[in-house]
Structure 1
Amino acid sequence: MSISPQNANEKGLPQTGVSLLRDVSLPAAVIHEAALLHNLAWMQRFVDAHHARLAPHGKTTMAPALFQRQLEAGAWGVTLATAVQCRAAFNHGIKRLLLANQLIGAANMTIVAELIEAGAEFYCVVDSVANAQALGRFFEERGLVLKVLIELGVPGGRCGCRTQEQVFELARAVNGASALRLAGLEGYEGVVHGNDPARRIRDYARQLVTTAQALYQDRLIEADDPIITASGSAWYDLIAEAFDAAGLREHFTPVLRPGCYVVHDHGLYQDAQQDVLVRRPDLEEGLRPALEIFAQVQSLPEPGLAIIAMGKRDIGADRMPEPLRRYREGGRLSETLDVTGWEVTRMMDQHAFLRLPEAASDVQIGDIIAFGTSHPCLTFDKWRRVCLADENLNVKEVMETCF
C-alpha cells in the first residue's frame, strides 16, 4: 500500500509500505481492527437483547466505511447531526437517515428534499410550532411528505419541548400540515444533569415512554411504523431498559443512537462504560478502545521533557492524551518500550508537552508513541483519512472521513 497522488497533501498515510512503525507519515489516526470488530458485535448484541434497533450516531466518525460495517453488523440506520452530513452518508449508500436535530433553513431543507426525492427514508426532529409550519410550507411546495419526530427535552437542557402539553400542541400542528407526518418521539438523555444522574435519567426515560404512549392513545401518531428514540454513548443501558420494560414494541420501533461505541475511548466513555458494567454485572466484557494516535518524539530539549509532534490539530483535548505504548521507529512490534509515569501536560496546535519521570533514560528522538483519546468525536474531525491496522500494526485499509 502506498500513497495515491490525490491524497499526497493529506497527513497520516502510508508512504512506502504498510508498517505503522516504518512506512506511515506520523502523526496518524489508527483504528485497531480487532477492537473495532469486538465493539461492532458487542453493541449489536446488546441492542438485540433489548428488542430495539440501532441507529448509531454517524457524527462521531463521519467515516462511510465504518457506517457500512455498522449496517453489516445489523444496524437499522444511521443518525446524523446536519443536513450536509445526511447527504454525505446517503451519497455513500446509507438509505435510512435519522437527523437528530431540528431541520431549519431553506438551504438545508433543499438538501433533505433532494435526498427524499432520491429515495432516502428520512426522519428529522421538531420542537416548535414555528419550525413545523416552516417545514410544512417548504415540503408542500416541493410536493413531498416529511417524517418528523417531536423532541422532548428537559428544563435547562438543549432543544426539545419542555412539557407534555407542548408536545401535544406541536403534535396537533404537525397533524394539520399536509406535508408532514408525525412518526414518533425523540429525546436525548445526555443533557440530563444534577445529583444522582442515573435516577434523573431513569425518570426522563419514563417520561419519554409515557409521552409516546399518550400520543399513540390519542391517535396523534400518523406514521404506520412510528419510532421512539433516544440514547447517547454514556447512558444507553438505562434507555434500553426503560424502552424494553415498557413493552413499546407493540406500537413503536425503539431505536437507540450511541455513536462513540464503535471505537470507544480511553477517557470519558471508558469511565461511562465502567459505570454501565457496574449497573449491569450480567454483561460480558465491555467495549474496547480502538482509536489511537501514533506520533513521534520530536525534541528532548531539557531533562524530564519530551516534545511530541502531535497537537490539537491531531487529537481531541477534552482531556490530555494518554501515552499507552512506545516503540522504536522501524522497530519490532514485540519490542514495546516503557511509558510508565509519562504524562502529557500541555498541548499546542501541533506540539504536545510530555513530562518524563527520572527513570525514562532510554527515550530517543523519533520514538513512536501510541496515545489514547477521550471523546472520539473531537479526534475524528481532525482527519481526512484514518488507518485501519491489524494485530501486526500493518495498515489494512485507509478510511475516508466526510467532515
Structure 2
Amino acid sequence: MDGTGAVDTCRIDREKIAALDDERVGPRHKAVPPELWGLSVAEVRARRPRLSQLPTPLLTLSRSALDTNLRVMADWCAERGLDLAPHGKTTMAPRLWAEQVDAGAWAITVANPFQLGVALEFGIGRVLVANSVISPLALRWIADELAADRELRVLVWADSPVAVDLMHDALAAHTAAAGSRPPLDVLVERGGAGGRTGARDLETALATAERVAASPHLRLAGVGGYEGALAHDSDTRSRDVVRGYLRDLVEVHERLVADGRYEVEVPVVTAGGSAYFDVVDEVLSPLVAAGARVVLRSGAYVVHDDGFYRHVSPLGEEPRTGGPGFRSAMHGWVRVSSRPEPGLALFDAGKRDLPFDEGLPEVQLRRPRMPGDAPATVAGVQVTALNDQHGFLRWDAHDGGADGADGADRADRADGADRADLRIGDELRLGLSHPCTAMDKWTLVPVVDDADAADPVVVDLVRTWF
C-alpha cells in the first residue's frame, strides 16, 4: 500500500498457470512412482493417490499449512499498511507465486536474471530483483522486455557509483543500437557492516543515487536492503543490530526525499526476510504515512519450517508480534534401510534430497506399519549426518533406548525390533529446516491434505524451476 492506503496487487498469466496441469509426469520427477508416469498433473491429482503409493525419499507440502501461512502473512501486512513482494527464490514455483498474488502480493521478488526470466514467462507484471544487474546481456534483455510491455515494471538494485556506471554504459550502447527504451527503475541498496552487498555508509549511498538520477536510462525509484545477513537468532542483541541497520536505511530514504532526488511519485522502501519482519514493521511502517510504499520481501513464510524459522520467525514458536502463528508446510519422508550396528540406523535420503545448511532434519513420527494403525512417535533418535544419498540415525544403545546387551534385546533384534522401535523398512516423517534449500532438490513436489494423517492424500503437484 502507498500513502493513500490503496491496494495494488500484481498481475500474473492465469492461462500459463493453468497450463501447468497439462505437464506429463515421468522418470525426471523423482517424487512420482512408475505407475503414474505418462499421466498429466491434472490426471494424477484426479486419482488422489495416497502417500503410501509414492516412493521414498520424498518431500511434501501440506495444503492446510500453506493456506494458513498465506492468510496469516497477508492479513499481518494488510493490518499494518505494508505491501508484500514475497521472494520467489524460496520455492521457484509459479503455482505458489500465483497463490501469493491471489493473497494480495504487490510484486514477486527474485534474485537474478534467470529467476526474472521465469517470472516474466508466467506473466508477473511487477518484479523486484533484489540484486545488482550489471551484465550487459541481462540489461539489454530487460530493456527489450520493458519496451515490449509498457505495463511491466522491473526494479533492480545498485550499491555503488561504479555499478551504476556499468548499467548506464550498457543501456546507452543498447539504445544507440536498438532505439529508445523506457528507463530501468533502480533502488539504492544500503548495506551493513559484516553483511552482504549494499553501500556501507550514507555518502556512498547518496553518491549512488546521484549517479542513477543523472542517467537518462535509469530512474531512481527507492531504497532497499536486506537485514537477515546481519543476525542469526531472535535475541535482543540481534534485533537491536537489525533495528540500527534499518534506521540507516531510513536515513538514506529521508535524505533522498529532502533533496528531491526521487524520480517516481511513490518511492519504494523495501527490506525484510522472514526472520525480522516485526522489526521492519517497527522501523519502516511510519514511512507509509509520509507517502512511501514499504515493501516486505519475506519468502520463507509460505513454507515455514521445523528448524531455523520455527525458532527465529516473529510468528514462530516464540511469537514476537500479534497474529496467528505459521505452520511448517514441508516434511521429508524416508525409509529405514539398514541397522548395521548398535545405536545406528540409516535411511534412504541425503543431501540430494533434504536441506541441511540450517540444521539437520528431526525425526517426528513413524508411519503406520499395519492398516488401521496410527502414526507413532519416535523418541530418543536423532539425525546426526547426511551423505549424498544416506542419512544417519543414532541413539544411545546403553540407556534402555535400544540395543542393550541383555538377552531380551538380542531376542528383539532377532525378530526385527528393539527398544528404539525402528525396523528396516519403517517409514519416518522428518521435520526440516530451511525451505530455501529444500525445494531446489525437487522438480515436482506433492501437496498432501493432512501430513498428520495415517496415509495422507495427494491433492496437487507443484512444479519448480531451479
Identify the TM-score tier after normalising by the shorter chain: over 0.9
Q: What is the aligned counterpart of 1:217 among 258, 265, 286?
A: 258
Tell me the residue number matched to 2:120.
Answer: 90
Match of 2:438, SS state, is helix
Q: What is the aligned counterpart of 2:429 among 363, 366, 370?
A: 370
Q: How many residues align?
A: 399
Q: What is the aligned counterpart of 1:169 among 196, 207, 211?
A: 207
Counterparts in 2 of 1:273-312, with a 5 A limit?
Answer: 273=313, 280=320, 283-312=322-351
> Contact (CA 8 Å) 2:315, 2:325: kept in 1 or not?
no
Distance in 1 of aligned mates of 2:319 and 2:444: 37
Output the amino acid matched with 2:54: V
* TM-score, length basis structure 1: 0.93
Tell me the residue number matched to 1:151.
Answer: 189
> Contact (CA 8 Å) 2:316, 2:326: kept in 1 or not?
no
Shift of 1:397: 1.0
Change (3 A) 1:329 1:399: farther
> Contact (CA 8 Å) 2:31, 2:445: kept in 1 or not?
yes
Distance in 1 of aligned mates of 2:331 and 2:144: 37
Shift of 1:345: 1.1
Counterparts in 2 of 1:108-257, with a 5 A limit?
Answer: 108-119=138-149, 120-140=152-172, 141-142=174-175, 143-144=180-181, 145-193=183-231, 196-244=237-285, 246-257=286-297
> Contact (CA 8 Å) 2:346, 2:390: kept in 1 or not?
yes
Tell me the residue number matched to 1:400.
Answer: 463
Output the amino acid matched with 1:267: G
Distance in 2 of aligned mates of 1:338 and 1:212: 52
Distance in 1 of aligned mates of 2:143 and 2:270: 23
Tell me the residue number matched to 2:18.
Answer: none
Match of 2:86, SS state, is coil
> Contact (CA 8 Å) 1:21, 1:327: kept in 2 or not?
no
Tell me the residue number matched to 2:298.
Answer: 258
Is the radius of gyration larger for structure 1 or structure 2? 2
Tell me the residue number matched to 1:267.
Answer: 307
Match of 1:100, SS state, is strand
Shift of 1:112: 2.2
Change (3 A) 1:161 1:15: same
> Once the two structures are aligned, what percentage of the paired residues are identical?
34
* 1:34 has 2:93 as partner: no
> Contact (CA 8 Å) 2:191, 2:197: kept in 1 or not?
yes
Shift of 1:126: 0.4
Q: What is the aligned counterpart of 1:325 among 365, 370, 378?
A: 365
Match of 1:7, SS state, is coil
Shift of 1:99: 0.3
Output the amino acid matched with 2:208: L
Shift of 1:325: 1.5
Unaligned runs of 5+ in 2: 1-20, 36-46, 396-400, 403-417
> Contact (CA 8 Å) 1:15, 1:24: kept in 2 or not?
no
Q: What is the aligned counterpart of 1:350 among 389, 392, 413?
A: 389
* TM-score, length basis structure 2: 0.81
Change (3 A) 1:196 1:7: same
Distance in 1 of aligned mates of 2:146 and 2:22: 36
Tell me the residue number matched to 2:27.
Answer: 8
Output the amino acid matched with 2:153: E
Match of 1:22, SS state, is helix
303-312 vs 177-186, which moves further:
303-312
Output the amino acid matched with 1:337: A
Change (3 A) 1:279 1:218: farther
> Contact (CA 8 Å) 1:150, 1:167: kept in 2 or not?
yes
Output the amino acid matched with 1:350: Q
Q: What is the aligned counterpart of 2:83 among 37, 40, 53?
A: 53
Distance in 1 of aligned mates of 2:363 and 2:443: 23
Match of 2:349, SS state, is coil
Change (3 A) 1:367 1:209: same
> Contact (CA 8 Å) 2:314, 2:320: kept in 1 or not?
no
Tell me the residue number matched to 2:407.
Answer: none
Output the amino acid matched with 1:181: R
Distance in 1 of aligned mates of 2:114 and 2:371: 43
Output the amino acid matched with 1:394: V
Distance in 2 of aligned mates of 1:73 and 1:137: 39
Change (3 A) 1:273 1:156: closer
Output the amino acid matched with 1:280: R
Shift of 1:3: 12
46-55 vs 132-141, which moves further:
132-141
Output the amino acid matched with 2:194: G
Unaligned runs of 5+ in 1: none
Shift of 1:311: 0.2
Shift of 1:384: 0.7
Shift of 1:330: 7.3
